[in-house]
Amino acid sequence: MKRAIVLLCSWLLVAQAWAAECDWPQWQSFKRDYVSQDGRVIDPADGKNITTSEGQSYAMFFALVAGDRDAFGRLFAWTENNLSAGDLSARLPAWLWGKREDGSWGVLDDNSASDADLWIAYSLLEAGRLWHSRGYQVAGLRFLQRIVKDEVVNVPGLGTMLMPGRVGFIEAEKRWRLNPSYLPPQLLTRLGRESRTLADVEATTQKMLLEAAPAGVAADWVVWSPEKGWLSDEKTGATGDYDAIRVYLWLGTLADDAPHKRALMSHYQTMAKLTQEAGLPPETVDTQTGKGSGTGPVGFSAALLPFLAGTPALSVQRERVLAHLPGSDAYYSSVLTLFGLGWEQQRYRFTSQGELLTSWERGSCKATD
């Protein structure tokens, strides 16, 4: 009898340790602070409680990484029903939803955001593969067709490119305005297996990432001119900050054997040097001189964790993140932390072909129902 009690207690301790290891506290906190019961991601930063397609797309990815199928389903349903008028295959998600001037709630701007669209399509396809769901697989493929139809153009002198949104980024003087952080290479690699057009976009993106950052730091926005080549964006200037930080995040999370990773990581080492020298990442970088200014929020440190792997700067940024995890009023730092710290904790990886590897799928953790 005593032996049975000892064995039972031992089993309970193991079970508790297993649950603690498999639980993702940062995801649970994010759900509590930012996700409504019906699957809407709420950004409270400006007091307007807006929802963006970006927030929905990131949360879908995090739910998949966590193996949280229930949350994934609610997030997807809310996105399709409220941002795409009930049909993702027919209408790209509106990028902004919130309270209108008349007090009603709904779409505030029906233009799309292609980065969110890529993450949604990717998460649907990978959910279909990992959860063996034909429904998600079909939804992802149909949505991918909509992305290609509505957001991909041929840019003279550059190649096939995914524009930042459905409208508004091709300027009258024949200039194309692009956002490097909207184009994670690993997502394009995976989606390029389903669409030859997006495989071409991946090749153009590699060219942009190497050519449009001569000082080795990413810009928030860049402009392509067939006559003049790459130019600084007139609206935002030669700066990289809250958009550009994601470029380093995407590069850092590439598989070690991913095509072009070595060249890309080497090209962008200026950011690693700036962070190492100052002890903290700069908030803003001049993309022409490579000089940084200000101190980025804790989310910047989190975003750089994968990028700084194996460098002396890593431990300092990790300590900062763990000591100052974002609260319930810092949506953007929270998503950057989920991406960066989640990777650091080996909760997910990407293969060289862009497929998602999760801790629960690999057997080291159990997916939640």
- Bridge partners of 310, per DSSP, are none
Question: Residue 49, exposed/middle/buried by CB under 10 A (0-12, 13-18, 19+)?
Answer: middle
| Angle in degrees, 0-180, between the axes of helices 53-66 and 69-83, rounded to the nearest 10 | 160
What would the DSSP string read from start to end of 220-289? S-EEEETTTEEEEBTTTBSEESTTTHHHHHHHHTS-TTSTTHHHHHHHTHHHHHHHHHHSS--SEEETTT
Say if residues 117 and 53 touch (Cβ distance below 8 Å). yes
Give 250's contacts (C-beta < 8 A, 6+ positions apart).
181, 184, 185, 186
Q: How far is Cα 305 from Cα 249, in angstroms, rounded to an integer?
A: 8
- Residue 309: left if φ>0, alpha if ψ -120 to 50, beta else—which one? beta
The residue type of 18 is: W
Bridge partners (DSSP) of residue 350 are 356
Asked if 43 is an active-site residue, the reply is no
Strand, coil or helix: 140: helix
Angle at 89 between CA 87 and CA 93, to 5 degrees: 65
Which residue among 43, 115, 233, 243 is the active-site one?
Answer: 115
Catalytic residues: 115
